[in-house]
């Protein structure tokens, strides 16, 4: 049976082998085509030129004042100066505590003390001295020989390390405390006059190495808020020489892994005392605008096919999805009309745009002002803009349209293992909260898991009457948090409570630095900081290389939501067989 299916295919049949004339797609009557364009009004457009040149002008100011912690409103102070490009901003804000203490009274920082002591001996060996001063320095500043009762209170690894180096190794903690305020240490051997300069240089170089490596934080001036488990810091930059050109940026509730521009808000109630001499520099950038390209946009070339990676025709937005409809219309109809201007700006600066002049193909220059200033009002449109909170109930507040902070954030710091961990949880049945210490940091800067197991009950005797217990004590390292009223506003806070045992009430000692490391602290945690699902607070060491090649090491805190909360097992009025 014959088939009735037919196929048609159009094939070019050039009259000559050269395809140059056909590829150029010439118009047979250009004058007729221009006349038709004039009749349809295509020549009436005012924006027919394409941008070929753009000149951007603005101001970039580096923050010069820094204040850790919360700053009360209506504050005018003379904050200390700081160099924004000297170290990562995360190091300045996140650092907590001192990895290397200046004393050897306890076991804290034992391993770092031994390591930095060895570093000093290597630095001293690099100097040309007449004799070896290492034995005398080790004898004068050796690791203390700790008594057995002190070593019994720590983990076995730290106790063995302390016994090994006690009286044998140079303690960098003691040497650092000795060199505080003096160029040379005082030890048993007299330094020869010809070696004074070399020993002094070794001490100065060693102190500089230790100071550059470890970012110590003063507990009295730290950004970490221990009751709210978050960071708060403020810094100020001056964009001009006028009296109102200072801009203060405040990180209100920073507790994530990335410190970027959106963590800072403009704080109009604080003045940190910048001077006109610290005003930012004027910047001028002249660049060529580049068309915006993306898969699915209309092709710009005559013989170019659109990319099929994005099929806009396959999208089926709902009738109420106006944003998706506008996006499809913009990409399909006007997607080739967008241009991007790449402006190279210094990192770590607060930037404000002054003007943008665009020159098109006809030589026409157009002045474009920043969105939201002058005649360039665009209500509702905002992108990459700093917020200006003005009400505690509205954290977003207003927006400062012409302002952008290029935060000098780290790409990927090296994060060490967790050395301290505390779980904050609610106990709805007992109507209280718990601060559960899970991990504590050892003197060797390693994690030591804390036991959460309650001692088992002794085996029962059938001939003995059951024992009555008034209450069951919680597991070890479970600190009760009781709701109390504090402050003039009668705010509900969670305070450290006591545990009932046979001998009477007693306070549970804290062993982690996250909770103060002692029984005296009342904690006073605001009730809203402990969610129903639980909150985990962790402490770990981080390290990163900065743009100048320097290595920075600091201790930082992180918070995250708990996956599950273990039961406390607390009960009242029960019998033990």
Q: Are 210 and 553 in contact (CB under 8 A)?
A: no
Phi, psi of 56 (to 5 degrees): -105, 135
Tell me the residue length of the chain: 577
Distance CA 350, CA 60 (A): 5
Q: Could you give the CA distance from residue 116 to residue 205 in angstroms, rounded to a whole number? A: 12
**pLDDT of the residue at 474:** 77
Mean pLDDT of the region 110-118: 90
Q: What's the whole-number mean pLDDT along residues 414-432?
A: 85
- 375 pLDDT higher than 60: no
pTM of the model: 0.77
Rounded distance, CA 370 to CA 398, Å?
17
Q: Is the Cα dihedral 171, 148, 450, 526 positive or negative?
A: negative
| Residue 32 three-state SS | helix
| Residue 40 CB coordination number (10 Å) | 9
502 pLDDT tier (thresholds 50, 70, 90): low
CA torsion angle 58 369 341 285 (round to 10): -30
DSSP 82-119: --TTSS-HHHHHH--S-SS-S--SSSTTHHHHHHHHHH
Residues 6+ apart with CB under 8 A from 465: none
Vertex 244, ends 242 and 246: CA angle to 5°?
95
What is d(CA 415, CA 257) in angstroms, rounded to the nearest whole number? Answer: 10
Instruction: State CA 217 to chain mean position distance.
Output: 16
Q: Of all helices (H) and strands (E), which one includes residue 176?
A: helix 172-178
Least confident of 170-179, 396-405, 453-462: 453-462
The mean of the pLDDT values for the chain is 81
The full set of domain ranges for the chain reads 110-213, 414-576
Residue 418's pLDDT band, with cuts at 50, 70 and 90, is: very high
Q: Is the pLDDT of residue 563 over 70?
A: yes
Say if residue 506's pLDDT is above 70. Answer: no
Give me the mean pLDDT over the 408-437 stretch. Answer: 85
- Residue 519 in tokens: 């029984």
pLDDT band at 420 (very low <50, low <70, confident <90, very high): very high
pLDDT digits (tens, 9 = 90+) for 190-210: 888 888 899 999 999 998 888
Alpha carbons 352 and 402: distance in angstroms, whole number: 6
Highest mean pLDDT among 61-70, 92-101, 315-324, 424-433: 61-70
């Amino acid at each position: 049976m014959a088939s009735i299916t037919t196929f048609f295919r159009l094939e070019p049949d050039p009259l000559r082998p050269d395809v140059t004339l056909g590829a150029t797609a010439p118009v047979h009557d250009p004058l007729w085509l221009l006349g038709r364009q004039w009749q349809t009004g295509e020549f009436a457009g005012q924006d027919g030129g394409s941008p070929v040149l753009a000149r951007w002008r603005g101001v970039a100011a580096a923050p010069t004042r820094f204040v850790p912690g919360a700053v009360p409103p209506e504050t005018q102070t003379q904050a200390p100066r700081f160099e924004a490009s000297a170290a990562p901003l995360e190091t300045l804000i996140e650092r907590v505590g001192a990895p290397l203490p200046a004393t050897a009274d306890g076991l804290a920082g034992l391993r770092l003390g031994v390591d930095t002591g060895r570093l000093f001996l290597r630095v001293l060996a690099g100097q040309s001295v007449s004799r070896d001063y290492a034995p005398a320095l080790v004898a004068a500043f050796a690791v203390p020989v700790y008594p057995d009762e002190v070593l019994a209170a720590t983990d076995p690894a730290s106790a063995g390390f302390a016994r090994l180096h006690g009286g044998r190794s140079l303690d960098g903690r003691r040497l650092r405390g000795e060199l505080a305020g003096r160029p040379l240490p005082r030890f048993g051997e007299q330094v020869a006059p010809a070696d004074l300069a070399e020993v002094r240089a070794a001490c100065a170089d060693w102190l500089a190495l230790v100071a550059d490596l470890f970012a110590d934080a003063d507990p009295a001036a730290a950004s970490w808020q221990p009751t709210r488990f978050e960071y708060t810091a403020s810094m100020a930059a001056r964009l001009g020489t006028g009296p109102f050109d200072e801009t203060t940026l405040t990180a209100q509730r920073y507790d994530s892994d990335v410190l970027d521009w959106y963590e800072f808000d403009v704080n109009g109630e604080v003045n940190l005392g910048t001077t006109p001499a610290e005003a930012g520099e004027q910047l001028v950038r002249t660049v060529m605008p580049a068309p915006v390209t993306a898969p699915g946009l209309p092709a710009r070339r005559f013989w170019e096919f659109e990319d099929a990676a994005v099929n806009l025709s396959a999208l089926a937005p709902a009738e109420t999805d106006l944003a998706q409809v506008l996006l499809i219309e913009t990409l399909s109809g006007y997607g080739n009309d967008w241009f991007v201007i790449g402006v190279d700006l210094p990192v770590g600066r607060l930037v404000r745009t002054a003007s943008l002049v665009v020159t098109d193909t006809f030589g026409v220059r157009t002045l474009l002002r920043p969105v939201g200033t002058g005649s360039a009002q665009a209500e509702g449109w905002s992108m990459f803009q700093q917020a200006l909170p003005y009400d505690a109930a509205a954290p977003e507040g207003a927006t400062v349209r012409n302002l952008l902070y290029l935060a000098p954030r780290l790409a990927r710091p090296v994060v060490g293992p967790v050395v301290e961990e505390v779980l904050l949880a609610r106990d709805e049945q007992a109507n209280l909260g718990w601060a559960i210490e899970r991990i504590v940091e050892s003197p060797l800067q390693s994690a030591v898991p804390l036991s959460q197991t309650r001692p088992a009950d002794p085996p029962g005797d059938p001939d003995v009457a059951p024992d009555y217990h008034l209450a069951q004590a919680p597991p070890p390292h479970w600190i009760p948090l009781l709701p109390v009223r504090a402050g003039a506003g009668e705010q509900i806070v969670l305070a450290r409570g006591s545990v009932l045992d046979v001998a009477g009430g007693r306070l549970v000692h804290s062993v982690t630095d996250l909770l103060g490391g002692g029984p005296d602290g009342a904690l006073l945690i605001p009730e809203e900081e402990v969610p129903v699902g639980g909150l985990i607070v962790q402490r770990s060491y981080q390290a990163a290389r900065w743009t100048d090649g320097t290595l920075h090491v600091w201790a930082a805190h992180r918070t995250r939501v708990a996956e599950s909360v273990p039961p406390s097992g607390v009960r009242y009025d029960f019998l033990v067989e």
